[in-house]
Amino acid sequence: MDQAPGSPQEPQDAQGLPGCYRHPDRPTGVRCTRCERPICPDCMVSASVGFQCPECVRSGSGTGHAPSANQPRTVAGGTVAADPRLVTKILIGLCLAAFVVQMAGAAGDRFTDRFEMLGLAWVPSLGGPEGVAEGQWYRLLTAMFLHGSYIHIAFNMLSLWWVGGPLEAALGRARYLALYFVSGLAGSALSYLLAAANQPSLGASGAIFGLFGATALLMRRLNYDMRPVIALLVINLVITFGWSNIAWQAHIGGLVGGLVVGYAMIHAPRERRALVQYGTCALVLVAVVVTVVVRTAQLT
């Protein structure tokens, strides 16, 4: 078991839970989100995400700066924003705006044909061969903002709001955006690799599955009840493999990408947190690029 700073040993109760660092006779499953020492209800001070111990609140966790109450940080080290759901709102707005354009008759159909995920195929409305294999790498990204029906966009946007908002507050805007886009690109890359070259796909599901994975890791890290998010993830996986016309490759790719990046975001050591977090994002993006290059070589 990890030992907290300044505490050579954590007392354990009969069930294996650590004792509060100030009240060793009180077992607890909650830890300070800054120093990670176990804290009982009497020692918990509410923070932007989770709880902090009294020492971290008073001293700014030993940094020598103003108290942490004046410099709040998220559990992943990000800056706490006045509107913790702003990025989620912007992402939803972009998806809704793109969907409005998609519904604009023939022009909307050409817009969808131009920006959906496609490996390689002849597209009559565009008058030639189209796809990532033709050098249109932007499709890996733009497909994340397109949707195929009212039910499709409604389900995805509700999921994004329900999962994305709390996760944005927990990670901070920059880390949340990195997680979202890396997960989405990982989903697009796996879809490009495994799906038929002429099979188009679109939707934010790959990125949202990445958020599901990261949320499960965060709830485990904070000792919260994981059953709701696990149940929702299982339901989505059942739908993914139980219904036709669903790009399961994007869902699985996004989930794997989200788990890898999410683990780095949540468990990175504090002394080199940014390096580990963004370095992991870079490694996943390298894997995406390699996947796209290999698949392109196969198709061309």
Catalytic residues: 205, 251
Residue 295: exposure state from Cβ atoms within 10 A (0-12, 13-18, ≥19):
buried
- Tell me the two tokens of residue 50: 């989770």
